[in-house]
Structure 1
Amino acid sequence: MGSSYDKFQKRRLISSYFSVVLSVFLVLFLLGILGLFVINSKKLSDDFKEEIAMTVFFDNDANDSVIKTFDTELQTARFVKTFKYVNKDEAAKEHTDIIGEDFMNFLGANPLQNSFDIHLKADYIVNDSIAKIESELRKNEMISDIVYDKQLVNLVNDNIKKVSMWILIISGFLAFVAVLLINSSMRLSIYSNRFIIKTMQMVGATKSFIRKPFIWRSIKLGMIGAGLAIIALIATLYYIDTNYPNLNILEEEAMTAAVLLGVLLVGIIITWLSTFFATQRFLNLRTDDLY
Structure 2
Amino acid sequence: MDNSFEKYQKRRLRSSYFSVVISIALVLFLVGILGLIVIKTKSISEHFKEKVAITIFLKDNAKSSDVEILQAELKKAEYTKDVIYISKEEAAKKYSEDIGENFLEFLGENPLKNAIDLSLKSDYVTPEKMADIEKNMLIRSIVSEVTYDKPLIELLTKNISRLSFWMLLFSALFALIAVVLINSSIRLSVYSKRFTLKTMQMVGATKQFIRVPFIWKSIQLGIIGALVAIAGLIVFIMYVNKTIPELELLSSYKILGILFAGIIALGILITWISTFFATQRFLNLRTDELYY
- Count how many residue pairs are aligned between Structure 1 and Structure 2: 289
* Equivalence for 2:252: 250
User: Does structure 1 retain, via aligned residues, the 8 Å contact 2:53–2:120?
Assistant: yes
User: Does structure 2 retain, via aligned residues, the 8 Å contact 1:24–1:267?
Assistant: yes
**SS of equivalent residue, structure 2 residue 110:** coil
User: Does structure 2 retain, via aligned residues, the 8 Å contact 1:59–1:113?
Assistant: yes
- Which aligned segments of 4 or more residues in structure 1 are displaced greater than 6 angstroms? 1-4, 237-242, 245-248
Question: Letter of the aligned partner of 2:170 in structure 1?
Answer: I
User: Does structure 2 retain, via aligned residues, the 8 Å contact 1:237–1:249?
Assistant: no
**SS of equivalent residue, structure 1 residue 96:** helix
* TM-score of the aligned structures, taking structure 2 as reference length: 0.80
Give deviations 1:32-91, integer Å, cap 9, x for gaps: 444455566555444432221111122344454454343333333343221111122222
* Equivalence for 2:222: 222
Change in 2 beyond 3 A, CA 1:79/1:275:
closer
Question: Letter of the aligned partner of 1:26 in structure 2?
Answer: L
Bigger mean CA deviation after superposition, 104-113 or 15-24: 104-113
**SS of equivalent residue, structure 2 residue 111:** coil
Give deviations 1:236-262, integer Å, cap 9, x for gaps: 6677778348688527x3x65554333
Question: Letter of the aligned partner of 1:268 in structure 2?
Answer: I
User: Does structure 1 retain, via aligned residues, the 8 Å contact 2:58–2:142?
Assistant: yes
* Equivalence for 2:134: 134
Separation (CA, whole Å) in 2 of partners of 1:225 and 1:138? 59
Bigger mean CA deviation after superposition, 83-92 or 233-242: 233-242
Separation (CA, whole Å) in 2 of partners of 1:180 and 1:211? 21
User: Does structure 2 retain, via aligned residues, the 8 Å contact 1:218–1:272?
Assistant: yes
* Equivalence for 2:118: 118
Q: Identity over aligned residues, as a percent?
A: 51
Instruction: Map 1:1-291 onto structure 2 (within 5 A).
Output: 8-35=8-35, 38=38, 42-62=42-62, 64-202=64-202, 205-233=205-233, 243-244=245-246, 249-250=251-252, 253=254, 257-289=257-289, 290-291=291-292
**SS of equivalent residue, structure 1 residue 14:** helix
Change in 2 beyond 3 A, CA 1:35/1:141:
same
Change in 2 beyond 3 A, CA 1:239/1:87:
farther
Give deviations 1:103-145, integer Å, cap 9, x for gaps: 3344444332221111123343233332232222223344332
Separation (CA, whole Å) in 2 of partners of 1:202 and 1:131? 73
Question: Letter of the aligned partner of 2:167 in structure 1?
Answer: I
Separation (CA, whole Å) in 2 of partners of 1:13 and 1:122? 53
Bigger mean CA deviation after superposition, 24-33 or 270-279: 24-33
Separation (CA, whole Å) in 2 of partners of 1:270 and 1:78? 41
Separation (CA, whole Å) in 2 of partners of 1:116 and 1:58? 8
User: Does structure 2 retain, via aligned residues, the 8 Å contact 1:58–1:145?
Assistant: yes
**SS of equivalent residue, structure 2 residue 112:** coil
**SS of equivalent residue, structure 2 residue 101:** coil
* TM-score of the aligned structures, taking structure 1 as reference length: 0.81
Task: Give unmatched runs, 5+ long, in structure 2.
Answer: none
**Offset at 1:2?**
6.8
Separation (CA, whole Å) in 2 of partners of 1:247 and 1:57? 38
Question: Letter of the aligned partner of 2:28 in structure 1?
Answer: L
User: Does structure 1 retain, via aligned residues, the 8 Å contact 2:80–2:119?
Assistant: yes
User: Does structure 1 retain, via aligned residues, the 8 Å contact 2:200–2:210?
Assistant: yes
User: Does structure 2 retain, via aligned residues, the 8 Å contact 1:218–1:275?
Assistant: yes
